Structure 1
Amino acid sequence: MNSPNELFAALMDDAGCSRSALARDILELARARGHKDVRCDHVDVGRWLNGMTPRGEKPALIAEALGRRLGRALSLSDLGFAGGRPLALALSFSESRDATIRTTQMLWTEDLKRSEFLRMAVSGGALTTPMARWLVSPPADPPYGTHASRRVGIDDVDAIRATLRMFERLDHQFGGGHARSAAVQYLSDAVTPLLHGSYTDAIGRELFSVAAQFTYKTGAMAYDVGVHGLARRYFVQALSLAHASGDRPLGGKVLALMSHQANYLGEYQDAVDLARGAALGARGQATPRIRAMYAAMEARGLASIGDKRACLRMMKQAEMNFGQSAGADEPAWIEYFDEAELQDELAHCFTALRAPRDAERHANLALGESSGLHPRSRTFCRLSLATSYLDAGDLPRACDTAIEAVEAAGRIKSARVRRYVSVFDRRLDDFGRQRSITEFRERAQTLMATAS
């Protein structure tokens, strides 16, 4: 039996709003938003007051309708709905552009409020339905926007893109924990009004594309600091935004990020499935470098499963596709996947396959090509290299390389960096007490204490 929703009841009292009046407000908003199938009356409001949780579009409509009467924005937590079905907020793919805008706006608002339910665990299997719906969804209608007075132009889009690049640099250099909150604030304050603005088809597609990129980057920051359930909500919303932009390869990029995270969390088959979904959904539209990235993600999952033959096949495909990218017209968002990134992915695959010589070769190639502007990536690569030395039986060299990694990491705020170091440290337990191990652990202790 449901318990009365005291928060919702108190807000209705504060607003001096009857059940019938709220139902009318919700219906008016629904019609204005084009949701002609929404039904609501005083009986529904009574059920919500008695503890039932509204579904579909209704939570957002309730928050807006009651918020207007109170003169302030309301969140799901404010309404007392966060303990029920809205726990699934932002975990559903949507073909509706209007629904996507409302859900992403609510996600950013709840994130800024630090709503605890957003940080609850979300399984890799929960991403199967959004992936499947994206795969079978028809092309999005042109994003003409609303009839709002705010006219969005290319300068607005360029401003978002430039800000995104700034946050990407901060993330690469200092970790996801350094500026994630500021990124969410920017999405809420600067991007939301533009999504609600008026724009041409061409500008609208660019706007939704850069909004998708900004959203998945913010999700990747959450992933980097270990808030995985929140990251997955951002990724799902980025998938919906990418769909609204009409960019299938960009949607595949989001699935590739989901695959990367699933592999990190030990959900290896989910990682393979998500990478395959990315390639399938973008088939015929993805450029060579994008196809190489998809293949590399699938190879990572296959390596973790231990399917060496399939992994080697996908690594070869990744190299072949990347080789075809020379001179190709590639989108700006795939520029990060350069020679260093490809070699690093291959090194990680060979590390998982316990093939130390191949892992060493590719890790050194990656380090030779990579930039000092990406210390986190170089830390991961050095620790992969250190692991290859360990697998080859060269303990002193492994520890020396791992020390280089932790010293270069500095104060990067990254749970992933700490985990890489911890995994390597546990491997050292098999080697007893040796001077090189002691020295590494003394150096690593400082990083583990400060990089939070």
Structure 2
Amino acid sequence: MPLKRHRLAQRRRTVGHSQESLAEKLGVDRTTVVRWERAESSPQPWIRPGLADALAVSPEQLADLLDDVRDGATRKGQGTHLVEVPQCPAGSFVECRDRAAKVSISAQTWDADRTEELAAFLTADDQLAPDSALRLSQEWRTVPPPQLAQLDRGRRVGGLMAQLIRDRTEALRRMDDHLGGGDLYDLVYRELRATLDLVREATYTEKTGRHLLAALGELCQLTGWVASDAGLTEHAERFYLGGAAAAHAAGDEPLAANLLSSLAYQVANIGDPREAVVLASTAYQGARSQGTARVRAMLLDRLAWANARLGDSRETARALEAVEDAAIDEPSAEDPQWVYWLDRAEAEVMAGRCQVELQKPKKAIQLLGGVVPGYDDDHGREKALYLSWLAEAHLQDGDPEQAASVALLALKLSTGVASARGNARMKHLDNLLAPHRANLVVRTFNEKITTLCTEAS
């Protein structure tokens, strides 16, 4: 064992952790800790802040404990390593997380240089009712954000500005209930840039700074969510990771967990489900002692989804059972604004979707069929997405005609909504139904979606 990894084990013992207790605290397996101490692997960037806290060391001291140069390990930059992730998708995914490690720092060390790093990270350019939401989004596009007006009047800001940013973020969330990511992304991103300029250029007290960073983290989560819905998944990943750094610096661990679990949800959908499980587990472990019941339930829902995408029925069931036991029926005054959407119906939908992924159609039909018809058509994107899983469950259950009938309802609701997620689900259903096009209803669905795709091209 290299000397410095021996020091890692020694530090663990000094603070009173066994390999088992440290693994449990970080949401990883004991064998993962063993591999770290044997220098067979390195902690992933998003785990390092928690590991530093658990070992009561600074990020720099942790980097020193981990800095063993061995075959296949190459130092990149100061205190940062490229991390080898087995079976991880190639490309920007690992690179982006590695860059995120540079801004994942504690609140005590956040300064102007870190703000600049976060700004560079977030802005780098790598490859209400529906009618009122649309009207409000159009009005906001014609009026400069108040963050910029504040900079024009003077550079000293207080807590009221942080609250204003949060209030505007909440309004944008409500717009997102009715508008697709393609319709909303430019507006949300402009809001993020204005807020980022304020955090970079204004002066404020340490307390106000924490509030501003938390507000920025909330806005990053929304921007990531909207970007993902618009099909800009690499941008979304950047916003989630940068927002987690800001939330951690603000001392808001539930918000940081929300950002990491949002990334886990995206990775589960388009990447390696094993990576998604690690992210979702990390998010839940990081906030379970501070988050409210609804926050914990949201994090568990995303953990269940990641496990379902992985095909792990046992772990999916464990997470869903914990959600079912959670007290989410009555909102708490301590709930953060960003968890307003979670209720028992949403939990039932997620449970049903997980059953579809696990090829358990009868249970999925029971769950989804019981709640999805009750959703208002004004929430067209969400209802269309949920109906798409109900349609898939009917197809798994051997009823392609019923599947196509439900798919037609979903297609009608999703038409005109600029959502890459919705479009992908409709195309997915069309592919699944392709062997059954002798059926009239199935053929009708195919003809309608083909016409829509032709008109869009």
TM-score of the alignment, normalized to the shorter chain, above 0.5: yes
Cα distance change of structure 1 residues 338 and 324 upon mapping to structure 2, 3 Å threshold: closer
1:349 maps to 354
- State the Cα deviation string for residues 92-129 of structure 1 (Å, max 9, x = none): 4421423442133224544xxxx3xx23xxxxxxxxxx
Q: Give 1:103's aligned amino acid.
A: E
Contact 2:115 2:199 in 1 (8 A): no
- State the Cα deviation string for residues 16-61 of structure 1 (Å, max 9, x = none): xxxxxxxxxxxxxxxxxxxxx9xxxxxxxxxxxxxxxx9569xxxx
Q: Give 2:409's aligned amino acid.
A: E
Q: Give 2:104's aligned amino acid.
A: S
2:265 maps to 260
- State the Cα deviation string for residues 208-236 of structure 1 (Å, max 9, x = none): 11210111211222212222222111111
**Following the alignment from structure 2 to structure 1, what is the Cα–Cα distance between the partners of residues 256 and 119?**
19
Q: Give 1:97's aligned amino acid.
A: W
2:212 maps to 207
Of 163, 166, 176, the residue aligned with 1:158 is 163
Q: Give 1:154's aligned amino acid.
A: G
SS state at 2:409 partner:
helix
Offset of 1:86 from its aligned partner?
9.8
Contact 1:89 1:233 in 2 (8 A): no
Of 84, 97, 101, the residue aligned with 2:110 is 97
Of 180, 185, 189, the residue aligned with 1:180 is 185
1:286 maps to 291
SS state at 1:177 partner:
helix
Cα distance change of structure 1 residues 100 and 366 upon mapping to structure 2, 3 Å threshold: farther
Runs of 4+ in 1 over 6 A off after TM superposition: 85-88
Q: Give 2:336's aligned amino acid.
A: P
2:16 maps to none
User: Aligned runs of 1:348-387 on 2, under 5 Å?
Assistant: 348-368=353-373, 370-387=375-392
2:120 maps to 106
SS state at 2:181 partner:
coil
- State the Cα deviation string for residues 114-146 of structure 1 (Å, max 9, x = none): x3xx23xxxxxxxxxxxxxxxxxxxxxxxxxxx
Normalised to the residue count of structure 2, the TM-score between the two structures is 0.68
- The number of aligned residues is 340
**Following the alignment from structure 2 to structure 1, what is the Cα–Cα distance between the partners of residues 184 and 290?**
33
SS state at 2:177 partner:
helix
Cα distance change of structure 1 residues 165 and 332 upon mapping to structure 2, 3 Å threshold: closer
Cα distance change of structure 1 residues 158 and 347 upon mapping to structure 2, 3 Å threshold: same
- Structure 2 residue 412 is the aligned partner of structure 1 residue 398: no
> Identity of paired residues, percent?
27
Offset of 1:268 from its aligned partner?
0.8
- Structure 2 residue 308 is the aligned partner of structure 1 residue 303: yes
User: Aligned runs of 1:113-262 on 2, under 5 Å?
Assistant: 115=125, 118-119=126-127, 150-262=155-267
List gaps (5 residues or longer) in structure 2: 1-59, 61-75, 80-94, 128-152
**Following the alignment from structure 2 to structure 1, what is the Cα–Cα distance between the partners of residues 450 and 402?**
19
Contact 1:232 1:258 in 2 (8 A): yes
SS state at 2:178 partner:
helix
Offset of 1:340 from its aligned partner?
2.8
**Following the alignment from structure 2 to structure 1, what is the Cα–Cα distance between the partners of residues 241 and 450?**
36
Q: Give 1:152's aligned amino acid.
A: V
Q: Which has the larger radius of gyration?
A: 1
SS state at 1:173 partner:
coil
**Following the alignment from structure 1 to structure 2, what is the Cα–Cα distance between the partners of residues 86 and 380?**
29
Cα distance change of structure 1 residues 281 and 269 upon mapping to structure 2, 3 Å threshold: same
- Structure 2 residue 276 is the aligned partner of structure 1 residue 271: yes
**Following the alignment from structure 2 to structure 1, what is the Cα–Cα distance between the partners of residues 102 and 417?**
32
Offset of 1:189 from its aligned partner?
2.7
SS state at 2:309 partner:
helix
Contact 1:225 1:413 in 2 (8 A): yes
Contact 2:170 2:337 in 1 (8 A): no
Query: CA-atom RMSD, angstroms?
Result: 2.9
Q: Larger deviation: 410-419 or 195-204? A: 195-204
**Following the alignment from structure 2 to structure 1, what is the Cα–Cα distance between the partners of residues 419 and 257?**
25
**Following the alignment from structure 1 to structure 2, what is the Cα–Cα distance between the partners of residues 238 and 395?**
43
**Following the alignment from structure 2 to structure 1, what is the Cα–Cα distance between the partners of residues 269 and 249?**
29
Contact 1:91 1:233 in 2 (8 A): no
Cα distance change of structure 1 residues 179 and 107 upon mapping to structure 2, 3 Å threshold: farther
Contact 1:216 1:235 in 2 (8 A): yes
**Following the alignment from structure 1 to structure 2, what is the Cα–Cα distance between the partners of residues 450 and 314?**
42
Cα distance change of structure 1 residues 190 and 249 upon mapping to structure 2, 3 Å threshold: closer
**Following the alignment from structure 1 to structure 2, what is the Cα–Cα distance between the partners of residues 324 and 406?**
31
List gaps (5 residues or longer) in structure 1: 1-36, 38-53, 58-84, 120-147
Offset of 1:429 from its aligned partner?
2.2
Offset of 1:449 from its aligned partner?
4.9
**Following the alignment from structure 2 to structure 1, what is the Cα–Cα distance between the partners of residues 424 and 400?**
20
Offset of 1:170 from its aligned partner?
3.3
